[in-house]
Amino acid sequence: MRASSITFSAVALLPAVLGQLSGSVGPLTTTTSKAAKTCDVTKYGAKADKTTDLGPPLQSAWAACASGGTVVIPTGDYAMSTWVTLKNGKKVAIQLDGVIYRTGTANGNMIMVRDTSDFEMFSSTGKGAIQGLGYEFHKNDVRSNTPRLLRFYKVTDFSLHDISLVDAPLFHFVLDTCTNGEVYNMAVQGGDWGGLDGIDVWSNNIWIHDVMVSNKDECVTVKSPSKNILIENIYCNWSGGCAIGSLGLNTAISSIHYRNIYTWKSNQMMMIKDNGGSGYVEDVVFENFIGHSNAYAANIDQYWSSMSSLGSTGAQLSNITYKNWKGTQADGSSRGYLKAVCSNSKPCTDITLTDIAMWTETGSKMVNQCQSGYGTGSCLKKGTSTVSYAVTKVTETAAPTGYSAASMPNNLKTGWNRSSSIPIPTIPTSYFPGATPIKKVAGM
46-71 residue pLDDT tens: 999 999 999 999 999 999 999 999 99
Average pLDDT, the chain: 95
Range 366-376 average pLDDT: 98
Residue 11: burial class (beta carbons within 10 Å; 0-12, 13-18, 19+) = exposed
Q: State whether 263 and 207 are in the same domain.
A: no
User: Could you list the residue range(s) of the whole structural domain that residue 355 is in?
Assistant: 239-411
Residue 99 lies in a domain: yes
Which residues are catalytically annotated? Answer: 217, 292
Cα dihedral sign, 14-16-22-24 = negative
* pLDDT recorded at residue 444: 83
* pLDDT recorded at residue 12: 32
What is the distance between the alpha carbons of residues 84 and 62, in angstroms, rounded to a whole number?
10
Residue 440 lies in a domain: no
Q: How many CB atoms lie within 10 A of CB 359?
A: 20
Residue 193 lies in a domain: yes
Q: State whether 67 and 126 are in the same domain.
A: yes
Residue 429 lies in a domain: no
What is the distance between the alpha carbons of residues 379 and 339, in angstroms, rounded to a whole number?
9
pTM of the prediction? Answer: 0.95
CA of residue 264 relative to chain centroid, distance: 15
* pLDDT recorded at residue 105: 97
Q: Which of 222, 247, 264 is the last residue of a domain?
A: 222
Q: State whether 265 and 315 are in the same domain.
A: yes
What contacts 354, CB < 8 A, 6 or more positions away?
321, 322, 323, 324, 376, 377
120-130 residue pLDDT tens: 999 999 999 99
Residue 18 pLDDT grade (very low, low, confident, very high; cuts 50, 70, 90):
low
In one-letter notation, the amino acid at residue 110 is M
Q: Which of 187, 222, 257 is the last residue of a domain?
A: 222
Range 145-165 average pLDDT: 98
Residue 151 pLDDT grade (very low, low, confident, very high; cuts 50, 70, 90):
very high
Residue 420 lies in a domain: no
- Classify residue 141 as left (phi > 0), alpha (psi -120 to 50) or beta: left
Range 164-174 average pLDDT: 98
Q: State whether 144 and 276 are in the same domain.
A: no
Q: Which of 196, 222, 248 is the last residue of a domain?
A: 222
* pLDDT recorded at residue 384: 86
* pLDDT recorded at residue 10: 30
